[in-house]
Amino acid sequence: MKRFAFSTAAAVLALSASSGFAQASDASTQNTDNLPKALVKALSTGMKLEKTFPAAGGLTGYIISSAPGKNMVVFSPENHQVLMVGKLVDDNGTDLSAKYLDQYGPKVDLSRFAPALESAPAIVEGAKGKAVKSTIYAFMDPNCIFCHLTWKALQPYEAAGLQVHWIPVAFQQASSTGKAAALLESNDPQAMLRHGESTYVEEKESLGIDPIPVSAVTRTKIDANFKLMADMGFSGTPTALYKDASGAYVAVQGMPKLSQLPKILNMPEQAVTDPELQRFR
């Protein structure tokens, strides 16, 4: 008989913590009969029950979401007296939680956002014209340290034909909006971004440019970028989007591993020698 174990369980209240982009969902429209009370409580805060399924070990599994693409799986035993949150693994070490999320979690159709994504106000960096071999779109906060590290990791690929559309949002620091505005309003946004990243202050997590007063027009652009990121189901930066072999958009959230870049970018591997980036191999 297979044995199953959970990694550290989170407090049930964590389920009801609404994300910044969670959309209201009326729990009264969902069938809450025979659901664990803790799950009903989570649903009452705006989370949505996407799927109920029989899970390993006699458990019942539930896929719940806080926003499009923001799914998690929780489990309950037959008596429904507790709700278990965490990684479910079998005695072979298989991550069943990840398997269930992939099998039952609703997928976001990113293709419907393609027109808005491709026309979003951005700093376009890297290859141009016929030299472009690959294109990605990346939501970034000017002060985001992992955006900075991603920028560094992509430099060899830009030199080899990558074009990056850096789509600025602003939420991490008070200066983020003014710095995003400075980038968007610059006469040479690519040069300003390069200067800012080259003088990035890691101790303060601060892009090396000065913020400027934000005009109403530019604020509208930054807010629209933020809304687009949220509507696509993303809540953090960096979030990069690229097209796979079928032409469908795929998202990568967070700093990607260096070993993943050739597949993500559909380009030959480039040497990334920056000592600071070696931990991301």
Pick the CATH number of 5-107 from 3.40.50.970, 3.10.450.70, 3.40.50.300, 3.30.420.40: 3.10.450.70
Tens of pLDDT, residue by residue over 198-212, are: 999 999 999 999 999
The neighbouring-strand residues paired with 62 are 52, 74
Residue from 234, 248, 265 nearest 140 by CA: 234
Quote the pLDDT of residue 27: 37
Dihedral sign from CA coordinates of 172, 177, 178, 179? positive
The DSSP letter of residue 114 is: H
Quote the pLDDT of residue 11: 36
Domain-wise residue ranges, the chain: 5-107, 112-280
**Is 18's pLDDT higher than 50?**
no
The mean predicted confidence, pLDDT, of the chain is 88
Please provide residue 120's backbone torsions phi and psi, each rounded to the nearest 5 degrees: -65, 140
Tens of pLDDT, residue by residue over 63-110, are: 999 877 778 999 999 988 899 998 999 988 899 998 999 899 988 889
Name the pLDDT band for 189 (thresholds 50, 70, 90). Answer: very high
Q: What pTM was computed for the model?
A: 0.73
Q: Which CATH superfamily is domain 112-280 in?
A: Glutaredoxin (3.40.30.10)
Please provide residue 263's backbone torsions phi and psi, each rounded to the nearest 5 degrees: -70, -45
Asked if 1 and 72 touch (Cβ cutoff 8 Å), the reply is no
Single-letter amino acid code for the residue at 97:
S
